[in-house]
Structures are given as C-alpha cells and as structure tokens.
C-alpha cells in the first residue's frame, strides 16, 4: 500500500511538471475544408436556460473545510444566510425575464436570423443550406456535417448589460481535424481531435445608465428588499431564520450611502422587462443578427489566429457599436460586438439564476427522455 501511495505521489508530481501549452480556442477552416464543406446545415441547440441573471454566490466551503467538520457546518450556515436574499432576487429577475422572453422565443429568433443567411456567403465557399434545431437533452451527440450553435444569455450582476455568448462548431467524420497551430513539442491531446471548426461570438448590449442614489431611491430600495423577503403568502420572514438575517443584512447595506451592483440591479432589471420586454427583444435581435452574419463570414476565413495578435476593428455601426476580432490570448480570433460608449464597470458573478419555468421545462424534457429510453 505504501509503495502504491509513493508511486501515485511521484506520478502526480510528474504530471504537475507537464503543462499544456496554451493554444487559441478558435479553429479556422482551411481552403480545402471550405471547398469540401460547401453548403451546410445549421443546427441550433435549443437553449433551455433562457436569459439568466448573474449574481455573486458567497462560497467559503474550501476555507471552512480546513477547520474540520465544525468549520464546514458553520461555513455552510453563514453562506446560506448570505446567499438567501441575493439568490432569491436573482431568481425573481430571471422569472420576470422568462415571462417576456421565453426560451422558445430565443431559439425561434436565432433560427430566423440564420435562415436569413441561407445561400449567402462567398461563391464557392461555405454557405447555409437550411436551419433546424436539436434538443441536446434528448440528442446529446455531435451532429455530423452541420454547424452546431450553442447559446448562453446572461444579465450582468447590476443588470446594466446583457451578454449573449455563442459557440459554433462544425464536425465531419469525413474531414478530420488537423491543427493549424505549431508547437515546440508534440501537440497537446486536445489538438488531435474535436471539431474541424470552432469559434465564439460574444455580444454585449448597450449599457444602461446607473441610477444616482437619492433619498427617494433609498426608500424604494428598502421597500424592494422587504418585498423580496416576503414568502409566497406575503408574510415577512420570522425572526432568527436565514431569510430574516439575510433581509436585515441587505437593509443595513441599503441604508448606507453607496449603491452596490446588486442594489443597482433591483432598479435596472425592470428596464429590461417593461413594455413587454421591448429592450430585451431589441438587444437579442441585434445579437442574433451579429452572430448569424459573422458566423458565415468567419467560416469562409482562413487566417490563423495568434496568441500574440492584436485586436482588429472589423465594423463600426452608425450608433457607435463596434465589431472586433480579438487579438491576443486564447480567445484570439473570436468576435465581440461592443457598445459605443460605456461609463461604468460591469461584472458577471460566479452564479447564474435560471427561471423556474425553464428549470421545470428542463426537468420535463429529461423525464420524457428517460421514459423514452426505458420504453425501448
């Protein structure tokens, strides 16, 4: 047993010495691949989470673990108190977003935008032949000979910015991937397999202006915190409960002279849902147009990104929005669509709240899939 432990320790040490060299995430097609692919299907993986709401989850599990079982229990209790109200509020925002923009509407919109790209593209190059959807919960495998589209929609912690992120991949069993990147030694294993084409496209919405803290705004903030703390029957939390402690913590912060990102979100979340989600729809529409257009363009582009490249300005729109191709780092070659002029810092937390209706939808799909497999 001791020999096994020593060998395992030695192996782990050796593994720590072997580091994987960085390589750009993007995988461009070469001219031969473009000729071979030609017209291809686009398969939009159905988004099941809808527009999520970002928030910061307190997590002291690792630090608490060093204090033994008691530390773990105390840490979990404190985390539970701190996270109760923020998670509840983020969930509430996600629920409201889902009311005006259900997940199905997101999928339909993206399908429509890719459909507008049918038969566009350079002559003789890669073009879109048709567009369909796939539910990955029931069909988890890779779709062969089609451009797969995976999406994520996330509202920032302070609700000033909506971020739409899309990853596109193309895989074809008849066209194996050969890395265009060179390495000092052997290529890492990740560069020996996987999709023939891959890239990411990220759209950041216009940034909503941050409200200025006034006495009236402070009172609204306090009222909102108290309202958020009520349970389904409308009752305030009982003294001593996690909900009560969490509410009091938030009220204490609300009475100071600073607006935190989480507090800002209380006001700005409504901007996205008012008028039946007009702003949300408009930004998602813009995001989908950007993604569909540049997906086709990029699939016909053979330039190989570099870790030490520079950002390229690709397009400037009349409202000052720009489309850029990222230069340096592992995201080299990816595309970002950024607003014209930002005025405050945006953050995205380590947690994302999903609307209840979308969680239920996901559960139902999974149960149906299980039932179908059991029936076979």
Partner 1 sequence: MSAARLAVAALGLTLLSGCVSDPGYAPMDAAAHRYFGYVDQSNGEGGYTIRVVLPEGVENPRSAFAHWERRAAELCGPAGYRKQLHTARRNMLMMPGYTPSGYSYEVMGDAWCNDPARASTAPAGPASPAVTAE
Neighbours of 304 (CB within 10 A): 17
User: Quick one: which of 346, 357, 365, 369 contacts partner 1 (CB under 8 A)?
Assistant: 346
The binding track of 66-95 with respect to partner 1, each residue x by CB under 8 A or -, is: x-----------------------------
Nearer to partner 1, 236 or 317 (CB): 317
What is the rounded CA–CA span in Å between residue 92 and residue 159? Answer: 13
Q: Quick one: which of 166, 109, 170, 107 has its CA closest to 300?
A: 170
Residue 182 interacting with partner 1 (CB under 8 A): yes
Burial of 320 (0-12, 13-18, 19+ CB in 10 A): exposed
Nearer to partner 1, 179 or 362 (CB): 179
What is the rounded CA–CA span in Å between residue 280 and residue 228? Answer: 23
**Within the chain, what is the greatest distance between any pair of CA atoms?**
70
* 3 state DSSP class of 169: strand
Nearer to partner 1, 102 or 339 (CB): 339
What residues contact 230, with CB distance under 8 A and at least 6 apart? 236, 237
Q: How far is the CB of 343 from partner 1 (least distance, A)?
A: 7
User: Quick one: which of 39, 61, 241, 368 contacts partner 1 (CB under 8 A)?
Assistant: 61
Q: Which of residues 101-120 bind partner 1 (CB under 8 A)?
A: none
Q: Quick one: which of 323, 354, 357, 320 has its CA closest to 337?
A: 323
Cα–Cα distances in angstroms (integers) from residue 40 to residues 145, 146, 173, in the given order: 7, 6, 14
Q: How far is the CB of 106 from partner 1 (least distance, A)?
A: 24
Q: Which of residues 17-36 bind partner 1 (CB under 8 A)?
A: 23, 30
What is the rounded CA–CA span in Å between residue 50 and residue 358? Answer: 7
Residue 162: strand pairing partners? 155
What is the rounded CA–CA span in Å between residue 239 and residue 243? Answer: 9
User: Quick one: which of 139, 345, 363, 372 contacts partner 1 (CB under 8 A)?
Assistant: 345
Contact 148, 45 (CB under 8 A): yes
Q: Using CB under 8 A, count the residues that bind partner 1.
A: 45
Helix 68-100 and helix 261-299: axis angle, to 10°?
70
User: Quick one: which of 62, 70, 119, 186 contacts partner 1 (CB under 8 A)?
Assistant: 62
Q: How far is the CB of 323 from partner 1 (least distance, A)?
A: 10
Strands 39-45 and 127-134: parallel
User: Quick one: which of 13, 19, 308, 376 contacts partner 1 (CB under 8 A)?
Assistant: 308
User: Quick one: which of 341, 360, 364, 368 contacts partner 1 (CB under 8 A)?
Assistant: 341
Nearer to partner 1, 28 or 92 (CB): 28
User: Quick one: which of 25, 41, 59, 115 contacts partner 1 (CB under 8 A)?
Assistant: 59
Neighbours of 90 (CB within 10 A): 28
Q: Quick one: which of 308, 241, 238, 283 has its CA closest to 23?
A: 308
User: Quick one: which of 112, 152, 306, 362 contacts partner 1 (CB under 8 A)?
Assistant: 306
Radius of gyration of the chain (CA): 24
Residue 244 interacting with partner 1 (CB under 8 A): no
Q: Which of residues 313-332 bind partner 1 (CB under 8 A)?
A: 313, 316, 320, 322, 324, 327
* 3 state DSSP class of 325: strand
Judged by CB under 8 A, which stretch of 60-68, 95-103, 247-255, 272-280 contacts partner 1? 60-68
Q: How far is the CB of 69 from partner 1 (least distance, A)?
A: 14
Residue 190 interacting with partner 1 (CB under 8 A): no
User: Quick one: which of 344, 356, 364, 368 contacts partner 1 (CB under 8 A)?
Assistant: 344
User: Quick one: which of 58, 87, 135, 224 contacts partner 1 (CB under 8 A)?
Assistant: 58
Judged by CB under 8 A, which stretch of 53-61, 92-100, 212-220, 292-300 contacts partner 1? 53-61
Applying CB under 8 A, the residues found at the interface with partner 1 are 23, 30, 56-63, 65-66, 180-183, 207, 304-313, 316, 320, 322, 324, 327, 338-350
């Amino acid at each position: 047993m001791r020999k096994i432990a020593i060998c395992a320790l030695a192996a782990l040490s050796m593994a720590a010495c072997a580091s994987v060299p960085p390589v750009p995430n993007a995988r461009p097609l070469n001219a031969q691949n473009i000729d071979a692919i030609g017209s291809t299907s686009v398969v939009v993986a159905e988004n099941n989470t809808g527009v999520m709401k970002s928030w910061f989850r307190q997590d002291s599990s690792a630090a608490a673990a060093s204090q033994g079982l008691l530390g773990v229990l105390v840490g979990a209790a404190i985390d539970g108190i701190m996270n109760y109200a923020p998670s509840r509020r983020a969930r509430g925002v996600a629920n409201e977003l889902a009311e005006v923009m259900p997940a199905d509407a997101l999928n339909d919109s993206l399908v429509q935008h890719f459909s507008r790209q049918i038969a566009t593209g350079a002559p003789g190059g890669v073009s879109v032949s048709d567009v369909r959807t796939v539910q990955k919960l029931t069909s988890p495998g890779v779709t062969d000979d089609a451009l797969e589209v995976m999406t994520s929609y996330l509202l920032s912690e302070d609700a000033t910015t909506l971020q739409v992120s899309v990853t596109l991949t193309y895989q074809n069993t008849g066209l194996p991937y050969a890395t265009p990147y060179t390495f000092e030694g052997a290529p890492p294993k990740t560069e020996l397999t996987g999709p023939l084409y891959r890239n990411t496209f990220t759209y950041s919405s216009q940034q909503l202006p941050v409200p200025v803290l006034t006495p009236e705004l402070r009172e609204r903030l306090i009222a909102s915190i108290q309202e958020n703390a009520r349970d389904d029957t409308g009752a305030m939390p009982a003294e001593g409960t996690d909900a009560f402690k969490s509410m009091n913590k938030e009220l204490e912060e609300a009475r100071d002279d600073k607006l935190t990102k989480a507090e800002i979100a209380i006001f700005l979340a409504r901007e996205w849902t008012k008028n039946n989600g007009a702003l949300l729809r408009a930004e998602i529409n813009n995001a989908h147009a950007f993604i569909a257009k540049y997906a086709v363009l990029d699939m016909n582009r053979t330039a190989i990104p570099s870790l030490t490249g520079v950002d390229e300005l690709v397009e400037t729109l009349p409202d000052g929005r720009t489309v850029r191709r990222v230069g340096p780092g592992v995201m080299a070659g990816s595309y970002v669509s950024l607003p014209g002029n930002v005025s405050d810092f945006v953050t995205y937390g380590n947690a994302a709240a999903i609307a209840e209706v979308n969680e239920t939808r996901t559960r139902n799909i999974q149960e149906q899939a299980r039932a179908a497999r059991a029936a076979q």
